[in-house]
Structure 1
């Protein structure tokens, strides 16, 4: 070490540092999305505490040359705790561990700064030192200060961070965010401990208490920067998701407009063909040709059949989706009172029913048994609610997150999987909610909208 610290104070006990590192990991385990059972989280957390304590005690007994490696070892122990107890990805685990490490450094430094603050009216001597203070015995005061300060600090961190992380779904941080978090952690730790290495820099403290002030403030700044980074990451993710949903809304609306135009054209063609067939029957009526005309008329009838639910937008959607289902040999039935959808905009109707029926067709198409290639749509009033229910049979395995959102099985999962999210988004706009139920290979999507 270059330079000596005047009036040097005792360093933070290794036991306290280990407890802070463990509690910081616990805080983030309580707020992040966990992919493992609770018993595994509890078991890993229980085993990691003595391991982190042992590493810190080993670091304290080693030489100063071993200090950097010892801190890396402590960081690795925290990383394994987070990674194994939550089941995160490697990148997400590294990102969370970086935040937990800075939080642990901040709380440990702040608590020890409080502990080593001089008593009032004295030049030195910590105010929580066992003995007579203010006329009463304070042997228990150090323990009380430790418990209270740790509870306040880590409880406050939990209250702040629980809004920064989703406990029901995981949006893994990108590579840039992870590298940034690790870089911030390294710089924060280096600057906060620079005075312990050398006092011969413009950023080092010369006196014991000054060193601890710098350490606490730098750790606080590092934690604030990491918090701001997480806020920015959340804002960017929310913006990207909203843009994707809005793009899907626009796409569904354009698809509706195109389908409406196509169906109207088919209706005109079918109407003209029926008149032509009638004229041909009046002129030629051989029995052997009659069967061909019957088949032609049945084919025309298939294209001329349109839904009449009482809502023109829903008529177009159901007609186009029923034709899409027929092309894939899927039996599609719909019983709908379209007048119940009057409060909804045409774009919302197109998006809600378009997404729901597209998902049903996509899931039913691979079913091998023709009798089970079924899709049912029901739209009806129940009490003070409008109920929209789409049911379909499926064979493939479904994957859902904690919110019930289907995880896309397509290769490009980043640009897919917004169907159910779009439906939830529309339902929430009208004060409704969405539920998903899977039982005996029947998938049921139910949307409740207040009337």
Structure 2
């Protein structure tokens, strides 16, 4: 027989624990609404969760599991409603929140029953203990989660990661609550405080396992993103080397043709031949490396992009002092200018009117800062949120790494990246302190 010296946890306590556990994930993540709407939604969620648990407190045992499933779905819905994240990420956070709430409620009630010998203390004492223990546990868990959760809360959880997290949460919940369902198993307790100990310790272990699972998922996400950024950077460097070889060959051909033309001009030729030579010279002039900025790497990148722009009817202008980039690594120069110009060119190719295909680049110095500014005409309606440009492509998960690569490179030099869209002009600006190594 189970000893009933330890009374059941009040359902309102469980509801508060579940609400607090959800707030652990809501507070550090980007919200879907403003503060007022989020606050009202949070208050409504607390009321609904409390009423549901109190109403279903005395249901029969075979209704207990469906009621718990509904309670978990309410928690997931609360997180999803407040945060601008996917439903799968909300479900993953909800699973961790359930185990955290179970632990929070269990440890608080076990402390109360231990010091008051199974009796219920005064309401004021209950409120103080509730605030202190819930607050302490929530503070520790919040600090642990805040170190690893992405600022936007978008974990990008895969199906396998979600399934493994789900199995862990279900196993922890089942083992911690099995004694409340039946004592006829090898893992059930037979005494009230023994049951409480099992529940508290199993939930604590479950939090540790799910926390390790969360860290692993976050690290895997960061590793994948870093690899993608490095691939973009490496591709830009490979393009730079290929372009350098092509441009050198073009320059050789250019100079050879100039000498041939000079020889032909020295001969007595008809006017038609003169016109033909003029046309020939004009035709090859576009292949001369016209960008002479003082930095060979920048010259190569700009020349490659300007040749491509000329071929596709894009007006490309540049005012750059390449000597200001001497402190930067070759791959970093390729990454910033290559990705920025590729994005600008891609935008311009979507504009039917070639007269409006405009790109302008400036490299300048202001006080002790290097300023790289990329401007291009843009007719698309771009979504611009908190310094991040939301891609307009359908397969969003496979795009955006060009800008991330630029931001990654700027951070390497303790710099900053800003973007702005105004009057059909998109501006990307990179600000880097001078003298960084």
1:193 corresponds in structure 2 to 177
Residue 116, structure 1, aligned to residue 121, structure 2: no
Question: Which of the numbers 200, 203, 210 marks the counterpart of 1:216?
Answer: 200
Count of residue correspondences: 434
Shift of 1:194: 0.9
Q: Which residue of 2 aligns with 1:384?
A: 368
Q: How many angstroms apart in 1 are the aligned matches of 2:8 and 2:268?
A: 108
3-state DSSP class of the match of 2:17? helix
Unaligned runs of 5+ in 2: none
Greater CA drift, 226-235 or 177-186: 177-186
Q: 2:390 is matched with which residue?
A: 407
* Cα distance in 1, alignment partners of residues 142 and 115 from structure 2: 30
Following superposition, the deviation at residue 163 of structure 1 comes to 2.0
Q: Distance in 2 between matches of 1:153 and 1:169?
A: 21
Q: Deviations over 1:238-291 (max 9, x none)?
A: 111111111222211111011000000001111111222233334463223432
For 1:218-249, what per-residue CA distance to the aligned partner results, in whole angstroms no more than 9, with x for missing partners? 11111111111010011111111111111222
Q: How far did 1:125 drift?
A: 4.1
Tell me if structure 2 keeps the 8 A contact 1:21–1:101: yes
Structure 1 position 365, deviation (Å): 1.9
1:75 aligns with 2:58: no
Assess, with a 3 A threshold, how the Cα gap between structure 1 residues 202 and 165 changes in structure 2: closer, same or farther: same
Deviation at 1:392, TM superposition (A): 0.9
The correspondence for 1:48, drawn from 45, 48, 65, is 45
User: Hey, what's the Cα distance between the residues in 1 that align with 2:419 and 2:358?
Assistant: 18
> So what's the TM-score if we normalise by structure 1?
0.92
Distance across 1 between alignment mates of 2:216 and 2:268: 76
- Deviation, 1:8, is 4.4
User: In the alignment, what sits opposite 1:274?
Assistant: 258
> Equivalent residue for 1:92?
89
Secondary structure class of the residue paired with 2:114: coil
8 Å CA contact retained: 1:42, 1:85: no
Q: Is the 8 A contact 2:247 2:289 kept in 1?
A: no
Aligned residue runs from structure 1 range 2-401, under 5 A: 4-119=1-116, 124-126=117-119, 129-130=121-122, 140-168=124-152, 170-283=154-267, 285-401=269-385
Structure 1 regions of 5+ residues with no counterpart? Answer: 131-138
Name the SS of the counterpart of 2:292 in structure 1: coil
Is the CA contact (8 Å cut-off) linking 2:254 and 2:284 kept in structure 1? yes
Cα deviation 1:118-156 (Å, max 9, x = unaligned): 45xxxx344x623xxxxxxxx622221111111112222
Instruction: Give the TM-score of the pair, scaled to structure 2.
Output: 0.94
- 1:7, CA displacement in angstroms? 4.4
Q: Contact 1:434–1:448 at 8 Å: present in 2 too? A: yes
CA offsets 1:28-69 (integer angstroms, 9 cap, x no match): 111223344444322322221221112101211322221111
Q: Distance in 1 between matches of 2:153 and 2:309?
A: 32
Q: Report how far residue 341 of structure 1 moved.
A: 0.8
Indicate if the aligned counterparts of 1:33 and 1:166 stay in contact, CA closer than 8 A. Answer: no
State the secondary structure of the residue aligned to 1:55. helix
SS in 2 for 1:445: strand
1:211 to partner: Cα distance: 0.6
State the Cα distance separating 1:386 from its structure 2 match: 1.2
- The Cα of 1:401 is off from its aligned counterpart by 5.0
Q: CA deviation at 1:198?
A: 1.9
1:437 shift after superposition: 1.6
CA RMSD of aligned residues (A): 1.8
1:379 positional shift: 0.7
1:33·1:170 contact (CA, 8 Å) conserved in 2?
no
Q: Distance in 2 between matches of 1:33 and 1:203?
A: 41
Given the alignment of the two structures, is residue 440 of structure 1 paired with residue 435 of structure 2, yes or no? no
